[in-house]
Structure 1
């Protein structure tokens, strides 16, 4: 029997698009960045801070793809749940700062918008057991709790300053009556021998991951954590921006397929809701940096069936 290359084998686990350059407009949601307001800290701002906080206002072609600075408040203006105030943390160590979890990224906003929808569509978390990986400020896990998930675990790198900030945000945003529906846990991807990992193995119907894919050295660890926690019939909701380069995202999906996940759906969408097919490369790898900040990749993944 002729042996098929690993690349050819992996193609079976990518959804096949009907057309090569299909673009659709989604008018159901407002522009992504319009649901975010930044309240600066109560102090006089330096002129550099003002420019840093509002490039989209000063340079109109530049889309703001991350939000928040130490001391500021991010207000997520949810159409369903009202204003949700979020604080960012100021990581103490360089190792923690390099994770960039002290910002809210557009991928997290998009995922929060999708899981907060009231219908029982494909992104619904109502009645589900949900794990958020790489939570950052915790927005997606907070919204999942408010949206009626049965159980939510909001997790991020086990740094006290990061986890304490998530606890503060969750306590402020989630009513006391829902306090038993969520918890905050530290988890380092790929570390599966901890009490937390042992307790929650195979438990979650839905895993949320927003902008977790920009470190190639962590791709395999992230996939292993995903497979460890994912229920047999569960789904992974994965969204990411292109600000760190398309190649890094494409590499993650390749690793995911190689190690046991299957891509059920995948496409690209910009901040205005315009959709197009997913592509591993565009413009010969010479995408305009300003332009690509407008775009996200959205994917739904599942566990590969045995024998596939």
Structure 2
């Protein structure tokens, strides 16, 4: 199950509130608390009440990948020196790991495992992740043999104060061979395209990922402009969004990108918490409005965009 891929790590010291696992040392006896086990399966037990995000600021989480092994994911947090940040900066919500990012990571991983021509196949692609936060999709794209990966977030994002760099270095430098050389991180403010990074990389990315980046309506145009600027000819944009901020906001963004010259190549809704008996995704038709919807937290929309 998707949600059980990420959880607090097994703890040798159950009293630690922010455990930092030593994934290279298996000599200690591991103690998984009942709270950790229950938390990992909460989405399965109570799917309609399960959160769309995971972790607490500064916490380490364990992403268990059947293909790439365990990844230590640090959740971004605001440094104490920045405790008085403006509300606008706090609305970035980088200090969580979002389920939409896990959807991307799982899709990329399964495509790599099957060596398939799935829409999620990233081998040889140049990838840009927008609003990356902890950058889990970027890590998985690098492991799936993307040619180059750039993880970006707003210049004021807490992700850029250490967590993103830790996640890239810790999880990719220790590989054999090391993979961190093809992954970089950059601050980027959507719609601001006159900085050095934007000028040097116009039209450079064959794949752009945006997972749960859509809750600020006033930024929809800026986000679409950024996508338009960086996407290479023939490239694709992957949109994944939960409905925790409401269906109209997601529908509004999809309307906006059409105004910027994109077309929707693929779109559907996916159940985040349940699969069929043989493990396949449960899908349904995308609808911008569902009358009387009571279970929206268990669904997300997945869309693939291309240029007209």
1:299 and 2:303 are equivalent in the alignment: yes
Whole-angstrom distance in 1 between the partners of 2:201 and 2:61? 31
**Cα deviations by residue, 1:189-245 (Å, 9 ceiling, x for unpaired):** 000001010010000000011001121111000000000000011000110100100
1:64–1:253 CA distance, 2 compared to 1 (3 A): same
Q: 2:168 aligns with which of 170, 181, 194?
A: 170
1:136 and 2:142 are equivalent in the alignment: no
Structure with more contact order per residue of length (Cα contacts < 8 Å, sep ≥ 6): 1
1:79 and 2:45 are equivalent in the alignment: no
1:175–1:191 CA distance, 2 compared to 1 (3 A): same
Structure 2's unaligned 5+ residue stretches are 19-34, 275-280
Whole-angstrom distance in 2 between the partners of 1:294 and 1:206? 26
Q: What is the SS of the residue equivalent to 1:126?
A: coil
1:127–1:58 CA distance, 2 compared to 1 (3 A): closer
1:144–1:42 CA distance, 2 compared to 1 (3 A): farther
CA contact (8 A) 1:126 1:148 kept: yes
Q: CA RMSD in A?
A: 2.2
Q: 1:105 aligns with which of 81, 98, 104?
A: 98
Residue of structure 2 in register with 1:146 after alignment: 143
Whole-angstrom distance in 1 between the partners of 2:142 and 2:135? 11
Residue of structure 2 in register with 1:287 after alignment: 293
CA contact (8 A) 1:38 1:67 kept: no
**Cα deviations by residue, 1:55-75 (Å, 9 ceiling, x for unpaired):** 658856422321010232111
Q: What is the SS of the residue equivalent to 1:293?
A: helix
Residue of structure 2 in register with 1:183 after alignment: 184
Whole-angstrom distance in 2 between the partners of 1:204 and 1:67? 29
Residue of structure 1 in register with 2:28 after alignment: none
Whole-angstrom distance in 1 between the partners of 2:296 and 2:157? 34
1:83–1:187 CA distance, 2 compared to 1 (3 A): same
CA contact (8 A) 1:128 1:151 kept: yes
1:44–1:144 CA distance, 2 compared to 1 (3 A): closer
Q: What is the SS of the residue equivalent to 1:196?
A: helix
CA contact (8 A) 2:5 2:64 kept: yes
Structure 1's unaligned 5+ residue stretches are 1-30
Question: Which residues of 2 match residues 237-252 of structure 1 at below 5 A?
Answer: 237-252=238-253
Whole-angstrom distance in 2 between the partners of 1:104 and 1:249? 19
Q: What TM-score comes out, normalization by structure 2 length? A: 0.81
Whole-angstrom distance in 2 between the partners of 1:217 and 1:138? 24
Whole-angstrom distance in 2 between the partners of 1:246 and 1:61? 16
